[in-house]
Structure 1
Amino acid sequence: MSNQNTTGHQWRLDWPTGHDRVARAQLKSVPEDFRVEEVLAVADLIPGEGEHLCLCLEKTGDNTEFVARQLAQMAGCRGFDVGFCGLKDRHAVTSQWFSLYRPGMESSDDDFIREVAGNWRVLASGRAPRKLRRGEHSANRFAIVLRNVEGSKAEIDEALNRLGEQGAPNYFGPQRFGRDGGNLDRALKMDPSQLNRRAGRAKRGSRGGRDGSKNVLYFSAARSWLFNEVLAARVSDGSWTTCLPGEPAESAAGPTGPMWGDGGTTATDGQETLERKVVGQWPELERLFAATRMQPERRPLVVKPQELDWEWRGDDILAIRFVLPPGQYATTVLGDSFELEDMSLGRHNE
């Protein structure tokens, strides 16, 4: 599927699957059907003393950035002084960590936590020496209920077994690109030089800083979309699970794709040729990277859910549990086996 919007661009937002879909199902019929637990990467990050108060909150109906803004207001600190590891969906029950810069205020932590608990359930708390940053958690633990499942139980069980053994194409989810690819349209209009870190640091906390944050979002969307396009080409030619000649040595553990940067890709040989050919079809996006200092990176082409388990709750209700590394999408994983209808989409404007 490709979506055309006001700029006249058509953005593909649905990419080929690695395996045949064997069933249809409804996702997020209620928020409790989609549970996410954030697991921190560093076991000793929370205990002990430090300038940052860390809170693990359970929330429903609020997205991450809204909660961060509310916490900043409650704490009387700048928005920048609230840290978190990743963005979590509004239409779900999620537990995630936030850090707040509160140096020398340990004696009032209990009162502040009680105030926070009036809005969200506080699961744990502690102090840390530094702010939590994006991607710092080690994993996300998912518990998902699919309803109105249509398909053969035997084929679904077989598909889930295969998913656990072989994994799925590691696409970025379409939510990253905005409605009808709107974030990609905005990326084409932005000044990529604003992404250079030295310029951004001077504007922290200002309106320019907020605009810079949006630019990072749009740039990231462009980078992610180009990765998806390269992965789609690898899925289509059947090479997405194997390393090609030219795979960068640092990613020799498995096949990877480009997170485009200044200079393009670190791949060589035939793999470099393939990646540059795909990205070259979108010169307007490719040009964004020539004006930045963003270094090329790599992302695995295959995502394999860990601790995968499932149970049938009647004929058409399926509960699935698994763990994914940061930056991997549960809906992408399940979408390789199921044609999913996201029931929360109609509630986005509520």
Structure 2
Amino acid sequence: MNDGGSTPGNWRLDWPTSSGRAGRAWLKCSPEDFRVDEHLADTEMPAGEGEHLFLLLEKVGDNTDYVARTLASLVGCRSFDVGYCGLKDRHAVTTQWFSLYRPGLEQDDAALIDRIGEHWRVLSQTRAPKKLRRGDHAVNRFTIVLRAVSGDRRPVDEALSRLRDMGAPNYFGPQRFGRGGGNLDKALQIDPARLNRRSKRGAKGGSQRTKNVLYFSAARSWLFNEVLAARVSDGSWRDPLPGEPAEPGDAPTGPMWGDGGTDATGDQERLERDVVAQHPDIAALFSATRMKPERRPLVARPDNLTWRWLADDVLEVQFQLAPGQFATTVLGDVLELEDRSLGPDNQ
């Protein structure tokens, strides 16, 4: 861990845990050790009719963007016409819903599904009146096998019980920031005013604008993590502060920085602005944008958390997370994880 500064190439990418870690473990020794199943909300389940073909695909070793681009090529549609709820890990076995815009082509669905089935297993299919969009799913269900688990079993069990009962800091995962914080380095090179200009679909420079949005999002997420880290360090991350914008009784939140910074007031606003003021280069990105400040829960609560020891040093953990929460950061609150998928061949 570095000193928390925002100098290019010197980014903090490992934040304080809630109670210390109970041991170490290897993560993603094989794709089969990390399974993610995406579930749509009951209210979002397709009706069986409409212009969009919904497919639930099982994929191994392919990231979401690659699958979406390949689907667009197989269908012969624009990449914009392929919808999905969120990004899924590449080094994993994942099931994920995709939507394809195919108005009036219901009679050709079976042949298309056969072609797609040559690339990925098609688990379910239906039609719906609208495209899938980010965050449309209800939960992600994880089954994760951790290997080479060190530390005594009892403190690991106790740490997992604490995680089940109290949750973990809801940090964005390091994958959001690129290798070594590379996405953050790129963010410092952005002209914020350019993000306000809408480019025509297919116009030259649209690809770079998409990348800039990615880099900008990384900067926003990093500031959230820094504020959450301050709350973890002072022990206030599970309790609202005076000035909390959330409704009474809701979980405490942190800032997704925007135009004007934060919509918190009082003590909470002062804390958030004090943290962000330590990183003026990142904060400057938001001074010329029209992005509205938003909020994100400080606590990630894994639902239906269970675990079992498959061997003395092999642990299987299962749980559900809401969209936008990271399994690796939740487990990383109780164990120091070494991602074995990031070997020399995957750098």
Superimposed CA distance per residue, residues 56-94 of structure 1 (whole angstroms, 9 cap, x where no aligned partner) = 110001000000000000000111111111001110000
Residues 252, 299 of structure 2: 8 Å contact kept = yes
Residues 72, 81 of structure 1: 8 Å contact kept = yes
Counterpart code for 2:53: L
Listed as ranges, the matches of 1:52-201 within 5 Å are 52-196=52-196, 199-200=197-198
Structure 1 length-normalised TM = 0.95
Residues 21, 336 of structure 2: 8 Å contact kept = yes
C-alpha change, 1:100 and 1:60, in structure 2 (3 Å) is same
1:235 aligns with: 232
Counterpart code for 2:138: S
Listed as ranges, the matches of 1:296-335 within 5 Å are 296-335=293-332
Percent identity of equivalent pairs: 65
Q: Is residue 268 of structure 1 aligned with residue 265 of structure 2?
A: yes
Moved over 6 A (4+): none
Q: Secondary structure at the match of 2:286?
A: helix
**Partners of 1:104 and 1:177 in 2: CA distance:** 41
C-alpha change, 1:118 and 1:347, in structure 2 (3 Å) is farther
Structure 2 length-normalised TM = 0.96
Structure 2's unaligned 5+ residue stretches are none
Superposed displacement of residue 249, structure 1? 3.8
Superposed displacement of residue 149, structure 1? 0.8
**Partners of 2:262 and 2:30 in 1: CA distance:** 41
Q: Secondary structure at the match of 1:253?
A: coil
Q: Secondary structure at the match of 2:39?
A: strand
**Partners of 1:346 and 1:113 in 2: CA distance:** 35
**Partners of 1:135 and 1:54 in 2: CA distance:** 16
Q: Secondary structure at the match of 1:185?
A: helix
2:244 aligns with: 247
Residues 306, 323 of structure 1: 8 Å contact kept = yes
1:217 aligns with: 214
Counterpart code for 1:255: P
Residues 169, 303 of structure 1: 8 Å contact kept = yes
**Partners of 2:93 and 2:70 in 1: CA distance:** 18
Superposed displacement of residue 2, structure 1? 3.1
Superposed displacement of residue 215, structure 1? 1.3
